[in-house]
Structure 1
Amino acid sequence: MTPPAGDRDPAHTPVRPVRVLLCDDHAVVRAGLLALLSSAHGIEVIGEAGDGEEAVALAAALRPDVVLMDLQLGSGIDGIEATRRIAGLPEREAEGAAERDDEREAGRADRRDVEREAGRADGRDVERDAAGRGAAGRGATGRGAPHVLVLTTYDTDADINRAIEAGATGYLLKAERPEELFSAIRAAAAGRSTLSAPVAHRVLAQMRSPRPGLTDRELDILGQLARGLSNREIARALFISEATVKTHLGRIYDKLGVDTRAGAVSVAKEQRLLP
């Protein structure tokens, strides 16, 4: 006889592992992550992608719970754009994944049906059942877009801001300990955000003393500066006076926290402000 809901032992209730898709353009890195995650309890790698386009396609087809995303992916779209596309995947049923989940949970589903028909499932059982299906099914059954957890070596303000704005759930640096990575993956699967300590520090610093962004005109001048043009040449190219160029340069220096032309170009490249 099936035991009443209140008599079940939670320790013996099967828990579906967190399904992870890896995206990194270096095969050696993917192999290392695969070996590392294979040692983690409750985490299963279901696919690998070597570029952004492949990651988006696999995320749509496999509906993982979490996509572990690098930012620099060689040719094609970068990790930011891949994150944006994955976060924007429409909510739909992924039939293959749904069928696999149905097979794995067939016994439990049948048992719940019998209990409901016999009148033994009370309100608390229904709530626990719905919550469990929602947490376990998000991603794998296509009820929502997969969560993207950025794993990268880049920790500039621009990278962090762009990733978060694109829809990343968390942002980790590759220097993190394995236990921190495992914890972040589980948190991301549950929809909770995780930031590496240096990343969290930068985010807080931005919030406490935000720097104003560059205007379109300042970005134009910065682009000309990166080409090695002099103030006079920039003025001619943009049809403005040389004095106006100097005024804009002073503002650019202040906003980027630099005091030289070379410094402005260097920071602009670091923060990916240049096309």
Structure 2
Amino acid sequence: MATPDISIEFFPPKTPEGAEKLRTARQQLATLNPKYFSVTFGAGGSTQQGTLSTVLDIQAEGFQGAPHLSCVGATRDSIRAILRELHAHGIRRIVALRGDLPSGYGGAGELRYASDLVEFIRLETGDWFHIEVAAYPEMHPQARSPQDDLQNFARKVQAGANAAITQYFYNPDAYFQFLDNAARMGVDVPVVAGIMPITNYTQLMRFSEMCGAEIPRWIRLKLASFGDDSASIKAFGLDVVSSLCERLLAGGAPGLHFYSMNQAAATTAICRRLQGA
């Protein structure tokens, strides 16, 4: 199989030790020649400076960095200031999200939805930024219905998004059905498949509960059967996720976006298997 287009996501490290570990992981992942590295953005901007400094580290190493930008709890002025700073640093790609309200926040802010944020970015900066938005093959956990969720996605694209990255999933049919449904609504931007490597059963279940990602029953039962046998969990996870990626690429997925959790081993193993290495 030809080498697929990949991108890799990090979260901003909170300590100098975390930053050093991420730097090491990034050097290993760089051998996969990713299109870009993205960096998440905390609720209400709680890691805004960490996001920017991590992106600048990535740019200094010769790679494209894409900061996440969320609008929840933000003002137009605060978003405008961030956009100016990103522009001044020569950053050309943004992952634009609504984001989740942190505890203690009273309101949603001046830009309520990701579509509002995308529209604002375009009004302020024209075509300077390549804008990625989120897509949910298994429906956003707060959406009222699959149709509402699709309409929300369409609004983000109509507001000026260039492409989308999906929430992670393990059922490829959900992804292909989502693409078909979006196409019927006239939405035809590239939708890159979000991929979560499986390395830890408890962590995976916790994340999936929070974000509404479905873990198929057969995968859950198999992972549970391994107990604390982390080597078996990782080996099974490698097989499952590599097979998922192969099917997605064979079906025409334009790329894969790996949620790395700031680790290199699992993403590297999956990509090497896809490359036949």
Larger Rg over CA atoms: 1
Per the normalisation by structure 2, the TM-score is 0.32
Considering Cα pairs closer than 8 Å and 6+ residues apart, tell me whether 1 or 2 has the greater RCO: 2
Give the number of the structure whose residues are more often helix, by fraction: 1
Per the normalisation by structure 1, the TM-score is 0.33
Give the number of the structure whose residues are more often strand, by fraction: 2
